[in-house]
Amino acid sequence: MRPLNIAIIGFGKIAADQHVPSIAGNDRLELVATVSRSGAGTARRFTSYGEMLEQVEGLDAVALTTPPTARYDIARACLERGLHVLLEKPPTVTLAEIHDLACIAETEQRTLFTTWHARHNAAVEAAAKALAGKRIAAMEIVWHEDVRKWHPGQQWIWEPGGFGVFDPGINALSIATAIFPGPLFVSQAMLSFPQDAQTAVAAEIDFTSPVADGRLHCSFDFRRSKGEEWTITVRTFEGEELRLTDGGGRLLIDSAEQACEGLGEYPDIYRKFVQLIDERQSHVDVAPLRLVADCLLLGGRETVGPTPR
Amino acid sequence: MRPLNIAIIGFGKIAADQHVPSIAGNDRLELVATVSRSGAGTARRFTSYGEMLEQVEGLDAVALTTPPTARYDIARACLERGLHVLLEKPPTVTLAEIHDLACIAETEQRTLFTTWHARHNAAVEAAAKALAGKRIAAMEIVWHEDVRKWHPGQQWIWEPGGFGVFDPGINALSIATAIFPGPLFVSQAMLSFPQDAQTAVAAEIDFTSPVADGRLHCSFDFRRSKGEEWTITVRTFEGEELRLTDGGGRLLIDSAEQACEGLGEYPDIYRKFVQLIDERQSHVDVAPLRLVADCLLLGGRETVGPTPR
């Protein structure tokens, strides 16, 4: 069987560090081209995706790692040329765009895959299995980090559409929606906007769920000055405590570390992409982005001090 | 054929003025009960929906006209009891809730109908037919009204989840998404928040669409002091101008008034509800609410003077 020819469109740090080696490590895939306006890349390099689509023959699929605002037009053009499309998270900036792409993928009978990399940790899958069918007594999400350390110089994060603290926070929501054994609804949210920013620096969110009785709470904060914490703790009605730490990398059940062996986030993403293409299926899950939108629909706002510098 | 027995849950002004006479005028429906915490209503009156569901035998359907925050729990309970459910606009406060209700309706094989009353004007249907398949050169939505005149004493509109100017504005979006011959994507938005409110008093929104080349713009404003304007003007690539005025009530094509005869908004809503039940179909369209969410995901924010009083 000849490998699937794939191109990466948008060639930044995440493409170089994660996508390229994961494609190289998958014997069903062959990276044939990359596109970047700066000219960076590997394999055949292009500075325009239109040119790449014209010139590369036998292309089967593309991975889109551009900033989210650019993705709709590119994804639409690729689907309409009969290519399978993988989207980095978040899939698009707006919910209307990803909805339309899903319709186009169905019409064109191509695979569209909205990836949420944090979900592809083996510990996350193990947590989902452990919680399946359980009734939940409490959940606490803590996603605190220093924006100066993790997003140095990323001014776009404070601009309209930049997501602010929801840029890392959506990773937490992608895990929570994957492991929680029922739907999650935002019941209340308070968003803190710096006086000099258009996006939130912190958010406190409460959820409800038909499968839960107690407090389901989430805290996002960009103002941490020492270290970072990315944990999700879930207590079941029977008293069992699951704790995902390190952004979904480790699972503890009642304080006992669980052995979770997997391919790793991005190799598992590409394993799944190939599987979806083989099965002629799409996987379009907007739940994490929808929860961010629901926080904004329902949330209160407060103005706080300037963005951390 | 025996009529479908229906109850109204939530009995405010819109229920009394619109839902009751529209049900009375439809010979396939019989209003058998109403529920209101205040005790207001007609037919058999209840103050709790749980009591009503227990005591009324042979119920087929419910119409939910409570404030949107209460709807998810009630709609879920009704669907799980095998009832067909009609939701006033907006269907729920969050997108996650209406998504889940759609899943439940499918599982239970019951009809779920998200109504957008402004769409049920005959002029809106005529505009949609006139624009079908056309390429669009421009759209201008103006939805300006005096909040003091149209929402007197409605303090909830300024609270988190109260939608602010999007409460009437979502009617404009429900018409625009019904008549526009392709998808609409928010490309830019500026929301004006009064210093003493949690929701916007005005919004300027730009859209893009794969079927349009020119400016697609929308202006919502609650600060109008004289009269009101609820108009949508669309110019096609061929130069034809469609103008919906009076909130979708009248259609002018190239300034010529079009004769549009229909049942009227709410009678047409109930005609459609009966048809959906007969065909064992649901109609769940979240596009207007999704566009509001997209405005919040992508929009910039500015603080303006106090809420009009």
Those residues with Cβ within 8 angstroms of residue B12's Cβ, 6 or more apart along the chain or in another chain: B36, B65
Q: Are residues A103 and A145 in the same domain?
A: no
Q: Does A99 touch chain B (CB under 8 A)?
A: yes
| pLDDT for position A27 | 97
- Where residue B225 sits, what CATH number does that domain have? 3.30.360.10
pLDDT tens digit sequence for B161-199: 999 999 999 999 999 999 999 999 999 999 999 999 999
Whole-number Cα distances in Å, A35 to A53, A68, A270, B178: 10, 15, 19, 37
**Among all residues of chain B, which has the CA nearest to that of A77?**
B210
Q: Are residues B135 and B247 in the same domain?
A: yes
Quote the tokens at residue A175: 């895990």
Test the A interface: residue of B170, B204, B205, B297 with most A CBs within 10 Å: B297
| ipTM of the prediction | 0.95
Rounded to a whole number of angstroms, the distance between the first and last alpha carbons of chain B is 53
The yes-or-no verdict on residue A277 having pLDDT over 90 is yes
| pLDDT for position A232 | 98
pLDDT tier at A309 (50, 70, 90 boundaries)?
confident
Q: Does B302 touch chain A (CB under 8 A)?
A: no
A 115-154 near B (Cβ less than 8 A): none
Q: How many CA atoms lie within 13 A of A20 on its CB side?
A: 16
Q: Side by side, which strands form the sheet with A250-253? A: A256-257, A250-253, A241-245, A229-236, A136-144, A216-221, A202-208, A185-194, A300-304
The yes-or-no verdict on residue A71 having pLDDT over 90 is yes
Q: Are residues B189 and B135 in the same domain?
A: yes
Look at B300 and A94 and tell me if their CB atoms are within 8 Å.
no
Amino acid identity for residue B87 in this structure: L
pLDDT tier at B153 (50, 70, 90 boundaries)?
confident
Q: Which of A76, A161, A185 sits opposite B298 (nearest CB)?
A: A161
Q: Side by side, which strands form the sheet with B250-253? A: B256-257, B250-253, B241-245, B229-236, B136-144, B216-221, B202-208, B185-194, B300-304
Q: Are residues B47 and B97 in the same domain?
A: yes
- With tokens 């209700």, the residue in question is B101
Q: Are residues B92 and B231 in the same domain?
A: no
Residue B245 lies in a domain: yes
Q: Are residues A103 and A197 in the same domain?
A: no
Q: Does A161 touch chain B (CB under 8 A)?
A: yes
Alpha helices in A56-200, H assignment, sequence order: 71-80, 95-108, 122-131, 147-150, 166-179
The yes-or-no verdict on residue B309 having pLDDT over 90 is no
- With tokens 């000849």, the residue in question is A2
Q: Does B37 touch chain A (CB under 8 A)?
A: no
Q: Are residues B101 and B130 in the same domain?
A: no
Catalytic residue among B13, B89, B129, B272: B89
Residue B280 lies in a domain: no
Q: Are B160 and B69 in contact (CB under 8 A)?
A: no
Give the whole-number percent of chain A exceeding pLDDT 90.
Answer: 96
Q: Are residues B191 and B79 in the same domain?
A: no
Q: Which of B95, B210, B298 sits opposite A160 (nearest CB)?
A: B298
The yes-or-no verdict on residue A302 having pLDDT over 90 is yes
Q: Are residues A139 and A232 in the same domain?
A: yes
**C-alpha to C-alpha distance for A242 and B303, rounded to whole angstroms:** 43
**C-alpha to C-alpha distance for B178 and B171, rounded to whole angstroms:** 11
Based on the structure, what is the number of domains in chain B? 2
**Among all residues of chain B, which has the CA nearest to that of A194?**
B301
Chain B hits for A97, CB-CB cut-off 8 Å, are 185
Q: Does A209 touch chain B (CB under 8 A)?
A: no
A89 is catalytic: yes
**C-alpha to C-alpha distance for B105 and B82, rounded to whole angstroms:** 9
Q: Does the CA dihedral B252-B256-B261-B264 come out positive or negative?
A: positive
Mean pLDDT across A205-209: 98
pLDDT tens digit sequence for A96-149: 999 999 999 999 999 999 999 999 999 999 999 999 999 999 999 999 999 999
Residue B204 lies in a domain: yes
Q: Nearest Cα to B198, choosing from A297, A195, A198?
A: A297
The yes-or-no verdict on residue B215 having pLDDT over 90 is yes
Q: Are B193 and A301 in contact (CB under 8 A)?
A: yes
**Among all residues of chain B, which has the CA nearest to that of A296?**
B296
Q: Does B77 touch chain A (CB under 8 A)?
A: no
Look at A294 and B99 and tell me if their CB atoms are within 8 Å.
no
- Where residue A47 sits, what CATH number does that domain have? 3.40.50.720
Mean pLDDT across A266-273: 98
pLDDT tier at B208 (50, 70, 90 boundaries)?
very high
